[in-house]
Amino acid sequence: MPFDFINVYRSLKERFESGDEPSQKDRAIGLIPSTVVMISGCRDSQTSADVCNVEQFCLPDTAGKAGGAFTSALLRVLYHDEQTPESDMSYIQVLEGIRDQLDDDYTQVPQLSSSRPSDLDSPFVLAEGEGTRQALLIGINYAGHNPGELSGCHNDVMNIKKYIMEVHGFEEDNIVVLMDDGEHVEPTGENILRELSRLAGESESGDSVFVHYSGHGASVKDDDDGEEADGMDECLCPIDYAENGVIRDDSLYSSLIATMNSGVYVTCLMDCCHSGSILDLPYMYKPDGSTGGQLVENPKFRFDKLFQLFGNIASDFLDILQ
C-alpha cells in the first residue's frame, strides 16, 4: 500500500475538520484512488434471474445450458454469435442494449455506477492501458442447497472467461476462477476476500482488473446502525454463507476499492440480487430514464461511512508500521 494513502486520509480529515467540506468529486478521488466501473444486474431492491437456455441469447455453450439473465444479455450485446459489434458501442448503448434484451421476460433494471464522473456517450471500455490485465471470476451454483440451488453460474463464468480472453486480451495465467464444481478453488468468503485483496495489492498504475460475480446476493440489516441510508447492507453470498456469513458491501470496499492503487482501471460485473449499489460508488446511471441519460450523484453514496472505513484502514496500516 503506498504511503500517499495515509496522506490522502489526513488531508481529507483536515478539510473536514476545518469546515472546508470536499466536493463529491474530491471525495471520490480521495476515497477511491482507482477508476472503478460496476455494471450490476438489478437495483438494490430487485432480484435477478436465470435463463434456462443460453442458446436463445446465441452464446457459446461451454458449461451447460443455463445462465444468468444479466450475464447472458450483456454477452448478447457485446459478443453475439461470438462476434464483437462492428463499431464501438457507448456505455449508454451497452446498458440500453442489455435492458432491451431483458425487457420482454425480466423486470430487473441493470445499473452502472462509477467512481468518477464521465461521458457515457464515450466508447464502452472493459480494460485499458498497456499494463497487466488480471481477472477474478466467481460462479456459485450452491449445489445441494435446498432452497437456493442455482444452475447457470458456472456457465456464466466460462462464457465471460472466453469473452475477456478472446476480445480483451486477458491471459489464462492472469485469470483466477472460484467455482463450487469440485475442480476449482471453492468460492468461500475467505477465498473471495483473499483474492480481492490480492488484486488490490498486486495491481499497479496502468493495469486493468476485471471482477465477475454470478451467484446469490442479499440485502440484510445494516450491522452498523445508521451507516446505510436505507438501513440495509447489500451482500454477496459465498458458498459457506450459512456457516460463516455473507460478504457485506463494507468488506468489498475495504478489500478491493479503498486499497486499489491510483491509475488502475477496475471493471466489475455483478450478476446477483440486490446489487445496484453493492460497491458504494458515488455516481450512477440507470437505463430506465430515471437518471436522464447521464451519470448522476448516487443518493446512497455515504461520504461519512466510507471516510470512517477509510480511516479504519489507515489506522490499521499505521499500526503495522509502528
What DSSP state is assigned to residue 185? B
User: Distance between CA atoms of 132 and 153, rounded to whole angstroms?
Assistant: 26
Nearest of 53, 52, 102 to residue 77 by alpha carbon: 102
List for the chain the helix, strand, coil content (%; round to 5): 35, 20, 45
Which candidate in 216, 237, 268, 274 is catalytic? 216
Which candidate in 235, 268, 272, 273 is catalytic? 273
Instruction: Please indicate whether residue 235 is annotated as part of the active site.
Output: no
Contact 299, 41 (CB under 8 A): no
Pairing of strands 217-221, 232-236: antiparallel
Residue 121, phi then psi, degrees to nearest 5: -85, -5
Buried b (16+ CB within 10 A) or exposed e, 222-260: beeeebbeeebbbbbbbbebeeeebbbbbbbbbbbbbbb
Task: Report residue 268 as a C-alpha cell.
Answer: 466489475
Instruction: Please indicate whether residue 216 is annotated as part of the active site.
Output: yes
Contact 152, 68 (CB under 8 A): yes
Nearest of 112, 113, 68, 117 to residue 94 by alpha carbon: 112
Q: Which residues are catalytic?
A: 216, 273
